[in-house]
Amino acid sequence: MKTAAILIIGNEILSGRTRDSNLQTLARELAIKGIRLDEVRVIADRFTAIVAAVNALRASHDFVFTTGGIGPTHDDITTECLAAAFGRVVLEDPEARRCLTEYYGAGNLNEARLKMACVVAGASLIANPLSAAPGFQIENVFVLPGVPKILEAMLPEILTRLPTGATIASQTVTAWLRESEIATELTAIQQSHPAVDIGSYPFMREERFGTALVVRGTDAAARMAAVSSISALLRSLQAKFEVE
Amino acid sequence: MKTAAILIIGNEILSGRTRDSNLQTLARELAIKGIRLDEVRVIADRFTAIVAAVNALRASHDFVFTTGGIGPTHDDITTECLAAAFGRVVLEDPEARRCLTEYYGAGNLNEARLKMACVVAGASLIANPLSAAPGFQIENVFVLPGVPKILEAMLPEILTRLPTGATIASQTVTAWLRESEIATELTAIQQSHPAVDIGSYPFMREERFGTALVVRGTDAAARMAAVSSISALLRSLQAKFEVE
C-alpha cells in the first residue's frame, strides 16, 4: 500500500486562530485512492523547519502534500524552501505567468503577483481554476495552497496524478456503552480479524457515554465479518447500538 | 520564550473520520501562557512511530503534549510507548486506582479499567474530574486523552504546571482587497515592526476576496504600532477594512 504525509505550513494554525480543514479533505480523498495517510505535521513559516520537514517526509513516504505559503506576501516562503530542500533554483514559469496575466489583466501583473508564477525548477504546474496562481508538483511532493476552497478546486487534477489502489473504507458501530465494558472482547475480535483495523473511540453526547467502533480496511467482506462479530458481542450484552 | 509541541496520536484523525479540535484548544491556552507552539504532529497508533516522535519532540521543545491512546482498549498504546521512549516501566498507580474505584465502584474494576490506572514509573497524575481515568506528566511530556471534553476538564491543572510568560496576543485587520495589492508595502511594514509577526491570510467570502492581516506578538504597544501602519496603508488605498 502506498503511503502519504501532509505538511501544513502555517502560523495561523499553530496560533489557534484558524482550525485546519485541509487535513480532513485530503485524508478522505487519499483513502478513496487506497493511499494510507501515515503522518501530518503542522509547522511554522520558518525556513529551516520547512526544509527539514520536507526532506524528512519525502524520504519516508510515497507522496507528500504541503499546504500553505505559496501566496504573494512576505510570509509565503514555501516555494524557496522547496527549492532548498531539492537543491534546485526557483524559476518563473511561462505557463503560470500566462494564467496570471489572463486572470489579473496584463497591466496589473505587479511584482507580488509575479512571485506566484515562480516554481521550483523542473516542477509541473497544478492548475488553479479559481484564482489562477498554480500549485505544483516536484517529484513526489505536491505543493498546494492553504485556502481550502482553492485546494479543493485543485483536487481533481491532483487525483489523476496519484495511483489508484483498493479504497480504504470504514463502517462504524455506535454503541451506547463504555469502551471499558468490552475492551477484552474487542481485543479478541481485532486478533481474529487481522485484515481490518478496529478503532475504539469513546464519546460523550447529551451527558451519556458511548463508543464508536470503527472497522477500517480495503476488503469489504473482512469489514462485514468484523462488524458481525462486534454486533454479536453487543447483542450478547444487550447494549443499544447502530451500524452505519 | 518557551516552546511546545503537540503529538496527536490517532488513526481517526488520519483517516479523516474525525476533525481534531484539541490542537486549537491547546494552542490558545499556550498563547495566553506565553508559550510558543512550534510544531504539531499527527501519527497513527503504531508503536515505533509513537516512540520515535515522542523522543524527537521532547528533545527539541520545552514542553510536549500528547493526545489520545490512554484508554482501555487494544488500540490505546500511548502509555507503553511513553515508557519505551523514557526507558522506564509501566506501573499501576495507587491514587489512579483509588479514583477509578470510586468512579466505577469497587466491584466493577475489570482488567480494562485497571489498565487506565497504569502510568509510566515516576509520572505525576493529572486529575480527570469528568471520568476518573487520569492523564499524567513525565518530565516535560504531558500525556492527555483524546476526548476533547476530558482534555478540557484537565486543562486548569495542566496550566498550573506551566510557567507564565508574556501572553502572545493578536489583532486582526480584515481588509477587502487581494493580498497581492499590498504585498510589497506589507513586507516593508513587517521589516519596520520586527517585534511582531504579521501574517497575511487570503480568504473568500460570499464570492469576494479579502485578506486577514494578523499582527501577533507579546508587546501590546508594538502590536498597536503595526496595526496603525497597516491601517494607514489601507486608508491610502481607499480599501474597506475593520480592525478586531
Q: Are B9 and B50 in contact (CB under 8 A)?
A: yes
Mean pLDDT (whole number) for B86-103: 98
Question: CB–CB of B23 and A16 under 8 A?
Answer: yes
The confidence score (pLDDT) of residue A205 equals: 86
Residue B205: the pLDDT is: 86
CA distance A217 to A193: 11
Does B168 sit within 8 Å of A15, measured CB to CB?
Answer: yes
Instruction: Give the pLDDT of residue B207.
Output: 83
State residue A163's pLDDT score: 98
Instruction: Please give the Cα distance from A39 to A18 (Å, whole number).
Output: 20
Chain A hits for B30, CB-CB cut-off 8 Å, are 16
Q: What is the mean pLDDT of residues B96-115?
A: 96
Q: Quick one: pLDDT band at residue A187, thresholds 50, 70, 90?
A: very high
Report the share of chain A in percent with pLDDT over 70: 100
Length of chain A counted residue by residue:
244
CB of A69 closer than 8 Å to CB of A13: no
Looking up cell 515508557 gives B83
Beta strands in chain B (DSSP E): 3-9, 36-43, 63-67, 90-92, 118-120, 124-126, 135-138, 141-144, 169-175, 197-205, 208-217, 241-243
CB contact under 8 A, A28 and B37: no
Q: Is B112 on the interface with A (CB under 8 A)?
A: yes
The CA distance from B5 to B126, in Å, is 19
Residues of chain A in contact with residue B113, where contact means CB-CB under 8 angstroms, are: 180
Quick: pLDDT tens for B7-46: 999 999 999 999 999 999 999 999 999 999 999 999 999 9
Residue B99 pLDDT: 97
Inter-chain contacts counted by CB atoms under 8 A, chains A and B: 196
Partner A contacted by B48 (CB < 8 A): no
Domains in chain A, please, with CATH? 3-160 (3.40.980.10), 169-243 (3.30.70.260)
Put simply, whether A192 touches B (Cβ < 8 Å) is no
| Residues B33 and B43 sit within 8 Å (Cβ to Cβ) | no
Q: How far is A87 from chain B (nearest CA, A)?
A: 24
Residue B3 to chain A, least CA–CA distance (Å): 12
pLDDT of residue B76: 97
Whether A56 has its CB under 8 Å from any CB of chain B: the answer is no
Cβ under 8 Å to A: B residues 135-154: 146-147, 149
Kindly report the nearest CA distance between residue A103 and chain B, in angstroms: 13
Q: For residue B44, give the nearest of A38, A198, A200 by CB distance.
A: A38
**The pLDDT value given to residue A18:** 94
DSSP for A3-60? EEEEEEE-HHHHTTSS---HHHHHHHHHHHHT-EEEEEEEE-S-HHHHHHHHHHHHHH
pLDDT bucket at A204, cuts 50 / 70 / 90: confident
Q: Find the closest chain A residue to B133 by CA distance.
A: A180
Question: Length of chain B in residues, anyone?
Answer: 244
- Give the separation between CA A182 and CA B112, rounded to whole angstroms: 8
| CA-based nearest distance A184→chain B, Å | 7
pTM of the predicted model as reported, rounded to 2 decimal places: 0.96
- One-letter amino acid at A5 equals A
Shortest CA gap A205–chain B (Å): 10
Q: What is the pLDDT of residues B139-154, one digit of tens each?
A: 999 999 999 999 999 9
Res. A207 pLDDT band, cuts 50 70 90: confident
Helix (H) or strand (E) holding B111: helix B111-115
Nearest chain B alpha carbon to A115: B180
Average pLDDT over residues A65-80: 97
Q: Within an 8 Å CB–CB cutoff, is residue B201 touching chain A?
A: yes
The mean predicted confidence, pLDDT, of chain A is 97
A139 contacts: CB under 8 Å, gap ≥ 6: A58, A86
What per-residue confidence (pLDDT) applies to B69? 97
pLDDT of A22-45, one tens digit each?
999 999 999 999 999 999 999 999
Of residues A27, A112, A172, nearest to B183 (C-beta):
A112
Name the residue facing B14 among A19, A27, A104 (closest C-beta): A27
More confident residue, A206 or A62: A62
The nearest CA of chain A is from the CA of B177 a distance in Å of 13
Q: Inspect the interface and report whether the beta carbons of B40 and A14 lie closer than 8 Å.
A: yes
Phi, psi of A236 (to 5 degrees): -65, -25
pLDDT of residue A206: 84
CA-CA distance, B235 to B180, in Å (whole number)?
16
For A136-171, the pLDDT digits (tens) are 999 999 999 999 999 999 999 999 999 999 999 999
Q: Is A199 on the interface with B (CB under 8 A)?
A: yes
